[in-house]
Amino acid sequence: MSTPTQDQASYVNSLWRDKWEGVIQAQNQVVNWLFAVHGGGIAGTLTYASVKSASCGILLALISFALGLIAIVVYGAFMYYLESRYFRQFRSDVSEFYKASIDWPEFIAREKSRPEKYRECEVLAWSSGVLGFLALVFLSFAIF
C-alpha cells in the first residue's frame, strides 16, 4: 500500500469531513421533521376533535402522534447521553495517550471499539416515523 502525499491526505480528510457533515445534517433534518409532524399532528387532531366528535380513528391518531413525539424526545435524550458518554471516554483516552499511559495501537483499538451509530436511536427514530405514518392513516380514515 502506498503512502498518500500530504495533498492527497488533505483532500481525503476534507471529503471525509464534508460527507460526515452531510450525514449529521440529514439526521438533524429528519429529527426536526418528525418533531414538527408529530407536534403539528397533535395540534391538528385536537382541533379537528374539538369540532367533530372524537371517533376511534381520532383517538388512535392522537395516541400515535403522542407516542411518536415521545419516541423522538427519548431519541434526543439517548443521543445526548450516548454521545456525551463516548466523548468522555475519548477525552480520557487522549489524556492517557498524551501521558504515555497507553500507546498508539491501544488508543486506536479503544477508538474502534466505540460504536459509530446507536441501535437504540435507530429503533426510536424509525418507531417515531412509523407512528407518524399510522397517525396520518388513522386521521385520514376518521376524516373521510
Are 42 and 69 a contacting pair, CB within 8 Å?
A: yes
The percent of residues above 70 in pLDDT, for the chain, comes to: 99
Predicted confidence (pLDDT) at residue 10 exceeds the cutoff of 90: no
Query: What number is the average pLDDT over the span 56-69?
Result: 95
Query: Tens of pLDDT along 95-119?
Result: 998 898 999 889 889 989 999 889 9
What dihedral do alpha carbons 43, 47, 53, 57 form, nearest 10°? -30
Using CA atoms, how far apart are residues 15 and 10, in angstroms rounded to an integer?
A: 9
Predicted confidence (pLDDT) at residue 1 exceeds the cutoff of 60: no
Q: At 81, phi and psi to the nearest 5?
A: -70, -35
Query: Tens of pLDDT along 11-41?
Result: 878 888 888 888 889 889 999 999 999 999 9
What 11-15 contacts at long range (C-beta under 8 Å, 24+ apart), as own/partner pairs, is none
